[in-house]
Amino acid sequence: MTRRWLLWLASAQLLGCASMNMKKQCYANGVCRIEQNGEVSWSGPPEEVAKMQGGEEGRKQALAEVDKAYAEAPKRSASDPVRLVLIGPTADAPDLAALTSAYRPMIEASLRDDPRIELVPYDRVKFLVEASSGDSLHSSFSKPEPRAKVDAGLTHRLRDGNAEVDVVLVAHLVPKEVTGFVRGSGGAGVAQVVNVEFQASMSSVYEFSEIEGAQVGKSTDSLAVAGLDKKGKASSGQLKGKRNPENDRAAIQEYGTWVKNTVREKIAPTLPSIAAVQEIRAKNREQATKDAPAWFRKVAGQ
């Protein structure tokens, strides 16, 4: 039912027209919604525009009431589980993107030895995660770019889509140049290697608040050296090789330890109780079905 409801909300025909500062969405009823530099404007038949503006304001008010309900709900006890979903790792650099399937099992393993943290399979929430970023009122379902961070749109979709998730963690890989001085009997110089930085971006789904962290691994695929030999002659060189993900296992374990500690100490105390979450969602589901058009209620069996 949740999937059908989200598809109904996203059923408008979206014509892509986006830039860094402008996003335009046009719908089958002839209305276009334009968002530029934080300002929203509308175009189209006046009666249809008025309907959509009123509907948007109503949904915003409803979301504000949901935010308040979660903020004021009883908090989770220390014995209750925290359900975490791992997104990624993702990478923009092609050489690191090719290794994400090797790194994911390592990251999962680093998160599994805490009895309070339950890993949620990604496939359970893939539909909600891969909707394009934006607020939960205006998400589309086109193929997204590799995600590097959590955002409010993502956490709202997981929360309001009734995903069985409390915390979302995005793991992202970036190249990290590490430079140091080297000295030997043949001279001295500077050496540079390209390691992997494992970035973490996470938040509770009930109230968006990003927490970031990072850990640098030991693997490298290149070594560059420049310096002076013992006669004072300048020289340089570079070696290319194949990165071995196993050399990053220790760093990934430290990454996982940081994530678990952060969840326990900073995020878990803010989470609403599981009973409160179920109660709020049941109330919202009932209201959403009530507000849905008649054809939707018929399809949903209501």
- Burial degree of 89 (CB within 10 A; 0-12, 13-18, 19+): buried
pLDDT of residue 259: 97
Closest CA relative to residue 207, chosen from 158, 139, 134, 240: 158
pLDDT of residue 165: 94
Count how many Cα atoms sit within 13 Å of the Cα of residue 167 in the half-sphere of its side chain: 27
Closest CA relative to residue 208, chosen from 173, 268, 168: 168
pLDDT of residue 123: 93
pLDDT of residue 19: 45
Closest CA relative to residue 287, chosen from 88, 70, 63: 63
SS3 (DSSP) at 214: strand
Residues 76 and 206: beta-carbon distance below 8 Å: no
Other CB atoms within 10 Å distance of the CB of residue 210:
13
Q: Which ranges of the chain would DSSP assign to H, the alpha helix?
A: 2-9, 46-72, 94-97, 100-111, 126-129, 152-160, 249-262, 274-291, 294-299
Closest CA relative to residue 249, chosen from 198, 286, 209: 198
Instruction: Note the maximum CA span of the chain.
Output: 87
DSSP character at residue 218: S
Q: Which ranges of 28-131 would DSSP assign to H, the alpha helix?
A: 46-72, 94-97, 100-111, 126-129
Q: How far is CA 119 from the centre of its chain?
A: 15
Specify the pTM: 0.71
pLDDT of residue 155: 92
SS3 (DSSP) at 1: coil
Cα distance between residue 107 and residue 103, in whole Å: 6
Which residue reads 């193929």 in tokens?
143
pLDDT tens, residue order, the chain (302 aa) = 444 444 444 444 344 444 446 778 888 888 888 887 778 787 888 887 787 777 666 666 767 778 888 888 899 998 899 999 999 999 999 999 999 999 999 999 999 989 999 999 999 999 888 876 544 444 444 455 678 999 998 999 999 888 899 999 999 999 988 765 555 555 555 666 788 999 999 999 999 999 999 999 998 876 555 554 555 555 555 556 688 999 999 999 999 999 999 999 999 999 999 999 999 888 877 655 454 445 334 444 44
SS3 (DSSP) at 75: strand
